[in-house]
Amino acid sequence: MAAKNAKQLGPVETLHAIEEKFEMFQILNEEGEIVNKDAEVNLSDDELVELMRRMVYTRILDQRSISLNRQGRLGFYAPTAGQEASQLASHFALEKEDFILPGYRDVPQMIWHGLPLSQAFLFSRGHFMGNQIPEDVKVIPPQIIIGAQFVQAAGVALGMQKRGKKSVAVTYTGDGGSSQGDFYEGINFAGAFRSPAIFIVQNNQFAISTPRELQTAAKTIAQKGIAAGIPSILVDGMDPLAVYVATRDARERAVNGEGPTLIEALCYRYGPHTMAGDDPTRYRTSETDSEWEKKDPIVRFRMYLEAKKLWNEEKENEVIEQAKEEIKAAIKTADAAPKQKVTDLMEFMYGDEMPFNLKEQYEIYKEKESK
């Protein structure tokens, strides 16, 4: 007997039918033209300018961070150029009370959520003060274990809902992260409990050197949300307006009790995976690089805003200068942080509730440090 009746789609046709549904959502094309007039962006001129300002600022921060790393003045750093729309336009749809659970590449969202730049630099240096996040800044330190923050986001979102808050938890991972068990557990749990969570996969098409095609048989990462029964969308991750609208709509559903959303933002990182020494020329071609540079989120947004007379070279230069000044000042602040001591770390970690065995070690370190 056949496994289906005559009118039913078979398993192969069902897969193809679902995959075909995931067309990429775009509002602003590479030329800076609106291609989707039905999409309601609803951002004021001032807000559009502010989003551009943040993207330009963050591109400078990326360039400066890379050079500070090369000078030995920063430690761990994962470059962000190319991902500004995925990172900052999604963040732009959030409120201050929303909780962010970032991955290691998501430091820009933390900064625009309120983390002082000097603390981001201390985090890069492995200084624990970098992770002493101010009480009113709703972020946790960047997760290095890929995908782990998906489980945490499902729980944080549920916790906020149980406390009656009208806010969401947002988490980010990459295409590689979407192969982790935690990814599936997180979206499944959030779906089952209707947690107000937004799961954002920044698909920059590589997990270090592993291309997306070798990562999964799924044609899109967005379609993985279907298995968890949650709304899912594939967006042009180089298009700030599409990313903004997708995230804003996801947030609206979440606070209205309609549960989580999975967003796949298709993007590209121009630089290496991290500054620890991978060489992208060994796993990517310069043709692909330049193909993606043409899709640059800042370039297309600049064209769009210039046509609306909202942006010009002078404004851009002001932002660049301001970024450089603030970065310089933040590095100075980071340099002035006290040298990291083991006892400080233990006090920060345990406060008055240090277990007795650690207390013994604490005394030993206290003695050593006093010399």
Residue 304, H or E segment: helix 297-307
225 binds, among ligand TPP, Mg ion, none (CB under 5 to 8 A by kind): none
| Identity of the residue, 104 or 189, whose beta carbon is nearer to Mg ion in the bound complex | 104
At 64, list the tokens: 């400066």
To ligand TPP, the closest distance from the beta carbon of 64 in angstroms equals: 20
To ligand TPP, the closest distance from the beta carbon of 207 in angstroms equals: 3
The reply to whether 297 sits near ligand TPP by the rule CB under 6 A is: no
User: Is 248 considered catalytic here?
Assistant: no
The reply to whether 144 sits near ligand TPP by the rule CB under 6 A is: yes
Rounded Cα–Cα distance for residues 269 and 204 (Å): 6
The reply to whether 174 sits near ligand TPP by the rule CB under 6 A is: yes
The reply to whether 307 sits near ligand TPP by the rule CB under 6 A is: no
What secondary structure does DSSP assign to 238-294, as a single string? T-HHHHHHHHHHHHHHHHTT---EEEEEE---SS-SSTTS--GGGTS-HHHHHHHHT
The reply to whether 26 sits near ligand TPP by the rule CB under 6 A is: no
Tell me the three state secondary structure of residue 72.
Answer: coil
User: Is 304 considered catalytic here?
Assistant: no
Using the rule CB under 6 A, give the single segment among 139-147, 220-228, 258-266, 354-362 that binds ligand TPP: 139-147
Under 8 Å between Cβ of 319 and 55? no
Q: Which of 25, 183, 199, 206 binds ligand TPP (CB under 6 A)?
A: 206
Q: Which residues pair with 173 in a beta bridge?
A: 201
The reply to whether 214 sits near ligand TPP by the rule CB under 6 A is: no
The reply to whether 9 sits near ligand TPP by the rule CB under 6 A is: no
To ligand TPP, the closest distance from the beta carbon of 284 in angstroms equals: 12
User: Is 105 considered catalytic here?
Assistant: no
Rounded Cα–Cα distance for residues 166 and 196 (Å): 9
Q: Which of 18, 31, 54, 20 is nearest to 244 (CA)?
A: 54
248 binds, among ligand TPP, Mg ion, none (CB under 5 to 8 A by kind): none
Q: Which of 53, 269, 300, 302 is catalytic?
A: 269
| Identity of the residue, 98 or 175, whose beta carbon is nearer to Mg ion in the bound complex | 175
Rounded Cα–Cα distance for residues 69 and 53 (Å): 24
Q: Which of 316, 295, 293 is nearest to 306 (CA)?
A: 316
208 binds, among Mg ion, ligand TPP, none (CB under 5 to 8 A by kind): ligand TPP
Q: Which of 151, 161, 170, 164 is nearest to 194 (CA)?
A: 161
359 CB neighbour count, 10 Å cutoff: 12
Q: Which of 212, 273, 300, 302 is catalytic?
A: 273
Positions that interact with Mg ion (CB under 5 A): 174-175, 204, 207
**Which residues bind to ligand TPP, rule: CB under 6 A?**
105, 144-146, 173-177, 180, 204, 206-208, 273
For the annotated catalytic residues, the residue numbers are: 269, 273, 283
